A and B are shown apart, each in its own frame.
Chain A
Amino acid sequence: MSQGRSGAEQRLVTPGMAIGPLSGMRVGSGAIIHNDEIIATKLGWVREFNGTISVDPINSPYLPRSGDLVIATVAEVRNNLWFMNINGSFQGLLPMSLAPWKVEFGHARQHMDIGDSALARVQEVDECHNVVLTMKGVGLRRLSQGAVVEVPVNHLDRIRGLNNSNLDRMKDVSDCRIIVGENGRVWIDGSEQGISWAREALNIAKKHGHKTDFDKLMSQHESNYVNKGDA
């Protein structure tokens, strides 16, 4: 998240705090205009980029957007659709017409049952937060192996790193397949040892993802594993 910042000032603000005058600035996410001043609406870091001032929240719930790749879990099954838990305020709906299989009416449970995880994409979100998911697309499938770890949504950028550098490093070190869902769920698949290391790395991200020394902690965790492997 550090990319794109201008200036050295990085302020942690709380809701209601004035973060700057309105003059010449556009208001981004996490901020509103009040009495010609820009006010933070969330607890987070002030970011100024390209004339837009916004707040990167430290905590925030997942708000689905069309096109998001998500790791969903089946919460309910009906004759012709699945209700999927996408780690958001509302469940996502996966109709059988958007499933990757030919599903007959009443046989949805044979393909995915309650508790199963799947890689899906958000097809549509309406103004009332109704979410429609699709599993038609390259790579979208039921996840029948591996582990799913939940991380804070706002730490995903740090987990990925600049141009996915952190994520690629995690994949290399753990020798695991790792998929990061936009909904704060990460799927890891590989050797038991690799999964365990990646899980620990994600726990570090969970606890220290907002800190300056996050990269240092990750490097430490990485070198511990590499040294252990050498021994």
Chain B
Amino acid sequence: MGGYGDIQLLREDGLRLDGRKLDESRPVTIQAGILPAADGSAMVTHGLNVAVAAVYGPMEAHPRKIQRQDRAVIDVRYNMAPFSTSDRIRPGFNRRSREISKVTAEALESVVLVERYPRSKIRVEIEILAAEAGTRCAGITAASVALADAGIPMRDMIVGVASGKIEDTVVLDLDKAEDNYGQADLPAGILPNTGEIAFLQMDGDLSPEEFDLAMEYNFKAAKEIHEIMVEALQSRYQGGDK
């Protein structure tokens, strides 16, 4: 994130290397209910990222020491498949996946009405099948759709989005090259209906003005992705007008 002066990430015409504008997101597709064994599931493709989320429960929380008498706990397991990147990833939990699991669980706990299910556990499994920068955002979006698909009550859905800085310019939705050689990354979990922020991380440095612009891009992208999320859920039950 320190920036690499000799690597050009912006073209002379002001567009990015893949031809996107500064405030343009990679294409997003969402499909709900893809796993029959899960109570709720979703697949999100965000650029070249592919994230699958499955939700099970609410179920009795085991081991008992993790039970909360007044609310449910959300148990998130984020994992990248060994084949998700060009270099094989060693299977199993690592420091990064633990961190992402934790921040995702905390973000989801802020929207799920956990007090409705005391002593319960809601299991969320996020599997990254293909990775190209922004997997935590794709994972959160997938988890959010999967929770809605499972009928878990939530006060809003979370949309995972990210902005960053490359060549001293704020851009929306960094791809792999921009993430690797850029100057900053600002992933956020946004509640599109209420405009609240469920999680926010920052890697690198942004001035207050750059931060404001990055968040403006994030909110804009969140609205767009939210529409796709709603459409995915509604199309799953097309013809379902009772």
Contact = CB atoms under 8 A, between A and B. Distances in A.
Interface of A: 1-2, 10, 12, 14-18, 30, 32, 34-35, 39, 41-45, 56-61, 89-91, 127-129, 154, 158, 210-213
Interface stretch (B14-22, B91-99, B143-151, B213-221): B143-151
Interface stretch (B44-52, B129-137, B232-240): B232-240
B58 A12 contact: no
A12 B192 CA distance: 18
A165 B111 CA distance: 40
A211 B157 CA distance: 24
Contacts of A59: 39-40, 149-151
Interface residues of B, number: 37
Interface centre among B119, B241, B242 (most CB of A within 10 A): B242
Nearest to B118: A128
Given A15-B155, A41-B155, A43-B149, 10 more contacts: A12-B237, A14-B233, A16-B155, A42-B148, A42-B151, A45-B240, A61-B58, A90-B120, A210-B237, A211-B240
A32 B118 contact: no
Interface string B24-44: 000000000000000110000
A89 B240 contact: no
Contacts of B151: 42-44, 57-61, 154
Interface centre among A32, A56, A90, A154 (most CB of B within 10 A): A90
29 contacts: A2-B242, A12-B237, A12-B240, A14-B234, A15-B111, A15-B154, A16-B191, A16-B193, A17-B230, A32-B113, A39-B155, A39-B156, A42-B148, A43-B237, A44-B151, A57-B151, A58-B240, A59-B40, A59-B150, A61-B39, A89-B57, A90-B60, A90-B119, A128-B118, A129-B119, A129-B120, A210-B240, A210-B242, A212-B242
A213 B239 contact: yes
Nearest to B59: A89
B241 A16 contact: no
B242 A45 contact: yes
B179 to A, nearest CB: 29
